[in-house]
Amino acid sequence: MSEPLLAFSGVTRTFGAGQGEVRALGPLTLTIGEGEFITVAGPSGSGKTTMLNLAGLLDKPSTGEVFLKGAATSPLSGEGRARLRREAIGFVFQEANLLPVLTALENVEFSLLLRGEGERGRRERAFSALELVGVADQADKFPAAMSGGQRQRVAIARAIVSGPSLVIADEPTASLDRETGAGVVALLKRINRDSGTTFLLASHDTMVIDAASRVILLRDGRVVV
């Protein structure tokens, strides 16, 4: 059996201390294989975002270990985690979170800039990513001049442009209307199918849940299903 892309081993995440300590997640033990399209579902406060933050190396577990490609991530320094995020993980946020002073193309390019890619190659790859997600015609527009769906597509282009192994999307359709949301889900699914990129999504949206190859249902920080 091949090594899982991502593994949680006895992971907990607590906030606060002493009597005010709150366990937001765990203990959680699960593995995510390459090419999976997983939706983490559950009510608000169930620990979906906490789990995604740990999976995306944005946060550290209180106990247990998160493994990425078989390597423990806890011992990594902040710079080491940032490097892994640059090289292996893409993020799609609920409200796109594009940098407002950059055009669509520049937003996608920015991700490559952080990887130290040269300007010429950067531009070409960013434009290809915009073409892939169907918003190449918006390349020179600033986020404020785009619709919510277009912004989210640009955010997806930014997440996948560097060819990450894992894309983490937190409520990617939450701020979109149903039709636009469906388009975004279809796009994510197509990328997953065509490139084999692993997707880990958190959502209440039935469309996102229906599209998943596996659903992880969380309640009170624990896996129910």
Note the residues at the interface with other proteins (CB under 8 A). Answer: 53, 56, 58-59, 78-79, 82-87, 89, 91, 93, 97, 99-102, 106, 109-111, 113-115, 119, 158
Paired tokens of 75: 């011992």
User: In the block, which residue shows the tokens 């765990």?
Assistant: 26
- We find the least distance from the C-beta atom of residue 53 to other proteins, in angstroms, to be 5
- We find the least distance from the C-beta atom of residue 47 to other proteins, in angstroms, to be 13
Cα-flanking dihedrals φ and ψ of residue 188, to 5°? -60, -45
- Rounded Cα distance between 77 and 162, Å, is 22
Number of neighbouring beta carbons within 10 Å of residue 222: 15
Nearest Cα to Cα of residue 36 among 223, 154, 165, 155: 165
- Rounded Cα distance between 117 and 97, Å, is 22
Task: Please name the residues in contact with 165: beta carbons below 8 A apart, sequence gap of 6 or more.
Answer: 5, 34, 69, 88, 89, 197, 198
- We find the least distance from the C-beta atom of residue 153 to other proteins, in angstroms, to be 17
Q: Closer CB to other proteins, residue 107 or residue 173?
A: 107
- We find the least distance from the C-beta atom of residue 120 to other proteins, in angstroms, to be 12
Q: Closer CB to other proteins, residue 79 or residue 179?
A: 79
- We find the least distance from the C-beta atom of residue 218 to other proteins, in angstroms, to be 17
Nearest Cα to Cα of residue 221 among 53, 18, 48: 48
The answer to whether 31 and 38 are in contact (CB under 8 A) is: no
Q: Closer CB to other proteins, residue 94 or residue 211?
A: 94
User: In the block, which residue shows the tokens 């209440």?
Assistant: 204
Q: Closer CB to other proteins, residue 8 or residue 91?
A: 91
- We find the least distance from the C-beta atom of residue 186 to other proteins, in angstroms, to be 24
Coil, helix or strand at residue 77: coil
Determine how β-strand 166-170 pairs with β-strand 22-32: unpaired
